[in-house]
Amino acid sequence: MTRTRPLPRDDLRALDGYHSPQVEVDTRLNTNESPYAPPAAFVERWLDALRTVEWNRYPDRAATDLRTSLGAFLGQPAGRLLCANGSNEVLQTLLLTYGGAGRRALMFEPTYALHAQIARGTGTDVVAGERRADYAIDPDDAIETMERTRPSVVFVCSPNNPTGTVESRDTVERLADAAANLGTLLVVDEAYGEFAQWSALELVSEDLPLAVVRTYSKVWSLAGVRLGFAVAPTWMIAQLEKVLLPYNLSVPTQVAGAIALDFSSEMEQRVAGLVEERGRLFATLAATDGIEVCPSGANFLMFRVGGDAHELWKRLLARNVLVRDFSSWPRIEGCLRVTVGTPEENDAFLAALDETLPEVVT
Per-residue pLDDT of the chain in tens (362 residues, 90 and over written 9):
788 888 888 887 777 766 666 788 999 999 999 999 999 999 999 999 999 999 999 999 999 999 999 999 999 999 999 999 999 999 999 999 999 999 999 999 999 999 999 999 999 999 999 999 999 999 999 999 999 999 999 999 999 999 999 999 999 999 999 999 999 999 999 999 999 999 999 999 999 999 999 999 999 999 999 999 999 999 999 999 999 999 999 999 999 999 999 999 999 999 999 999 999 999 999 999 999 999 999 999 999 999 999 999 999 999 999 999 999 999 999 999 999 999 999 999 999 999 999 999 87
Superfamily in which the 10-38+265-360 domain is placed by CATH: Aspartate Aminotransferase, domain 1 (3.90.1150.10)
Specify the pTM.
0.95
Residue 19 has what pLDDT?
63
Closest by CA position to 199, among listed 146, 158, 231: 158
- The amino acid at 223: A
Residue 103 has what pLDDT?
98
- State the DSSP string of 16-80: PPP-------SEE-SS---SSPPPHHHHHHHHHHHTT--TTS---TT-HHHHHHHHHHHT--GGG
Neighbours of 164 (CB within 10 A): 25
- Omega prior to 162 cis, within 30 of 0: yes
What CA–CA distance (Å, rounded) separates 26 from 106?
Answer: 39
Domain residue extents for the chain:
10-38+265-360, 50-263
What CA–CA distance (Å, rounded) separates 333 from 325?
Answer: 10
Alpha helical stretches, state H, 109-168 = 113-121, 139-149
Neighbours of 6 (CB within 10 A): 4
- Omega prior to 59 cis, within 30 of 0: no
Count the alpha carbons within 13 Å of 158 in the hemisphere toward its beta carbon.
Answer: 25
- The answer as to CATH 3.40.50.300 being correct for domain 50-263 is no
For residues 312 and 285, is the Cβ–Cβ distance under 8 A? Answer: no
Strand partners, 155: 107, 187
CA angle, residues 48, 53, 56, in degrees to nearest 5: 150
Fold match between domain 10-38+265-360 and domain 50-263: no
In 204-352, beta strands by DSSP E: 210-215, 228-231, 291-293, 300-305, 321-322, 324-325, 335-339
